[in-house]
A and B are shown apart, each in its own frame.
Chain A
Amino acid sequence: MPGFSGTDDLINEITTNGKKFRSQINKVTGITTAYTAGRAYDLSILPGSPDRMGPGEHLINSFAPVSLFNWTPNGTGWAATANTFAKTSGTATTLTADSLNIGIVAGRFYRVQYTISAWTSSNVNFTLGGATGTVRAAIGTFVEVITASSTAGFVLQASVSTGVFSVSNISVVEWGSSSGTITPMFQPFTTANSPALFHGGSVSTDLKSLLNMGLMTTAATGIGQFYLVDLLGSYPYIDANSALAQTCSNTNTLTRYTTGAGVRAFMASGGTGYVISNAAPTTVGAVAHNVAMTYTNSGGTGSRQMPVTVACTSSAIQGHITHSGVAASNYFPLPLANNDAGIRSIQSIQLSAATGTAGTYYHMYLYKELAMLPLPAANIYYERDFVNMMPSLEQIVDGAVLGLIYVAGSTTAASTTFIGHIESAWG
């Protein structure tokens, strides 16, 4: 009983000391595309509660802004309109991110991606970490890598205050080298940089445990298997149109489960980046491909490889775990070499073939499974009690970024709603 000396102590901590928290879950699948039976999906990309999160939001969460919250213009002319930062003629030129989820470190590299969805006039660029991005003056999605020379934050800027254009899908992630598209950097997820399901905050030196959880779906096709996981981090923007070995940088390392024991990996489709929930999703190319990786196991042994061929399936659904499903050589999670107990870090990821569509990406996640809950029928609230049912009182580590992975039991209709909760306690 981690954190509790016994049943009486648990009761005392919960009822007398109030050391507990209850959080709600409400996720809705996209409105245009159904999920495929047998495949697994990362629901953290979906809108709802908690809000969507993704590996492209490590530093800035503004892919589809609804307000200028956390952004400051230096005058008039900037507004959040139709899920974009819309610039109209006014007195302002710059729009500054008031804070970043992760601080910029001088000497490190940062991959910046943004979309100019409408453009009439003015040059458009950005500054970050003392570097200035390339000037743009056209509609398009732009990617570049800068080398920071200071800790300065992100500023989007127009060359003239009368400029008219719209920008969205701003994504800044740390990168492994000063240029190129195939050197992702591991980025740890924490509650400080990711909009995850709140579970009561940091409680050290107490230990927090999962008391119970419940889930239901309102759609008859929403049945399946759910995993509650701690999303530990990701290697974002794996180039889906490259068959080269993509070298993963590990300047950043696991901040939880640091040995890698029990840590597993999955690779999810990210399409071209982010889209608002009621827009058409994007897909990686359709060329058939497998995925291979080398990793360091939880014992610290490097150059480990998966023991079997793992096939991917192209999908237009962001969050689709591409190697899951019932087709030949589909596996979820990514299988480990014989006798390995977990992943400490990934050294390289390689697709067997370029998928055929430039500018599309996968994201590789590391995660720790905490609990599992089957959902065998619609409209019935299924619950797990982690005190009286095994496994008991799974620990939730400080900073844990909780997410849900859904293995579809049938063809899951678009706009399917999942509702649930977790309760945690600590002592």
Chain B
Amino acid sequence: MSFISLSDYSNKVVIGGQTHSSTFRKTTTVVTTAGVWFDGSNMSGHPVTNFYASTPLKAEYLLAREGIQHGSNVSSDQKHLKRVTAMCSVAPVNLLFIDSLLYYPFIDGDSTDEQVFDNTNSLTRETTGVGVNAYVVAQGTYIGGAEFFITYTNQAGVSGRTSKLCRSNLATTAGTIISSGASSGAMSNAWFIPLADGDTGIRSVQSFTFLSANGGIFALVLCKDLGNLSIREANVPAEKDFLIDTGLNMPIIPDGAYLSFLVLPNASIASAPIYGNIQTTWG
């Protein structure tokens, strides 16, 4: 089920109370780099810090209770992200809200071997992989500059797919999404790893390969992109109502979703908390 009309929405949310609000406050001591994406789940505060700490190279889940709270399970109803607000003392800062689906931790940045992943655990949300993207986040400091690629199974179940070649940036700090930014040269630099031609998502990742030593340790994260929020002015709350502002298109939040955000700062956000709240609705 979901909403079949504006009146249905009004009945369920306004009258029926099928809505939930929660807050978040995340901060980091890391000096972030302008133009380079940073993993908000890696920041401390509420919800708790995520370190992607589990068995190396084995697919693992993040728990919904440790992400931004979006309410309890609502099946067979369907939950949506209705509204987000956020502010920060540094601006502009752009947030990309995501559902983190699966991650592969402790990729060795000093190894140029093919690092083969354990896929005992598989996607439990977005199970076909349609619209699922991957990013690589530093779990500690690193040097950078190395090129890398992944092999994966695409949304159609075709294995052995090879991503575009990416190059690690030189931001060097934990929490950085290493394929983002342009400082290291334009080699498919993107916050998500560019996929092979014709692919529209990732079902699972089989391996990760650095072409030269990069230094550091990294986690590869599979996620679903939900929506953006741009904090345009320092200390001024930014708000987006997905029902009103994005063509009535409220992102879907499945039961069990680990909700967090990626951050694209214009300057260092060290010790500058990002705080705000979200509202979810279901029907």
Q: Report which of B2, B181, B246 forms a contact with A211, defined as CB distance below 8 A.
A: B246
CB of A66 within 8 A of CB of B162, answer yes
Does A67 interact with chain B (Cβ within 8 Å)? yes
**Residue count of chain B within 8 Å CB distance of chain A:** 57
CB of A15 within 8 A of CB of B2, answer yes
Q: Given known contacts A22-B225, A47-B188, A415-B183, is B4 in contact with A423 (CB within 8 Å)?
A: no
Chain B 41-78 interface mask (CB, 8 Å, partner A; 1/0): 00000000000000000000000000000000000001
Mark out the residues of chain B between 2 and 46 whose CB falls within 8 Å of any chain A CB in the assembled complex: 2-9, 34-35
Does A338 interact with chain B (Cβ within 8 Å)? no
Q: Given known contacts A198-B200, A421-B225, is B248 in contact with A387 (CB within 8 Å)?
A: yes
CB of A211 within 8 A of CB of B164, answer no
A51: chain B residues at CB < 8 Å are 164, 188, 194, 197
CB of A7 within 8 A of CB of B248, answer yes
A393: chain B residues at CB < 8 Å are 247
A11: chain B residues at CB < 8 Å are 3-6, 9, 248
Does B165 interact with chain A (Cβ within 8 Å)? yes
**What is the bound-complex CA distance between A201 and B198, given in angstroms?**
10
Does A285 interact with chain B (Cβ within 8 Å)? no
**Number of contacts between A and B (CB, 8 Å)?**
172
Does A202 interact with chain B (Cβ within 8 Å)? no
Mark out the residues of chain A between 3 and 19 whose CB falls within 8 Å of any chain B CB in the assembled complex: 7-8, 10-12, 14-16, 18
Chain A 38-50 interface mask (CB, 8 Å, partner B; 1/0): 0000000011111
Interface centre among B160, B244, B245 (most CB of A within 10 A): B245
CB of B94 within 8 A of CB of A67, answer no
CB of B133 within 8 A of CB of A24, answer yes
Q: Given known contacts A379-B94, A423-B246, is B186 in contact with A18 (CB within 8 Å)?
A: no
Does B149 interact with chain A (Cβ within 8 Å)? yes
A residues lining the B interface (CB < 8 Å): 7-8, 10-12, 14-16, 18, 20-22, 24, 26, 28-31, 46-51, 61, 66-67, 69, 191, 195, 198, 201, 211-212, 214, 216, 218-219, 277-278, 378-383, 385-388, 393, 415-417, 419, 421, 423, 425
Listed by A's residue number, 30 A-B pairs whose Cβ atoms lie within 8 Å are A7-B6, A10-B248, A15-B2, A15-B252, A22-B131, A22-B251, A24-B192, A26-B191, A28-B188, A29-B186, A46-B186, A48-B186, A48-B190, A49-B190, A51-B164, A69-B161, A69-B196, A211-B247, A211-B248, A218-B266, A278-B187, A378-B92, A380-B94, A380-B232, A381-B228, A381-B230, A388-B247, A419-B191, A423-B246, A425-B247
B residues lining the A interface (CB < 8 Å): 1-9, 34-35, 78, 80, 92, 94, 131, 133, 149, 160-162, 164-165, 181-183, 185-192, 194-198, 200, 225, 228-230, 232, 244-252, 264, 266, 283
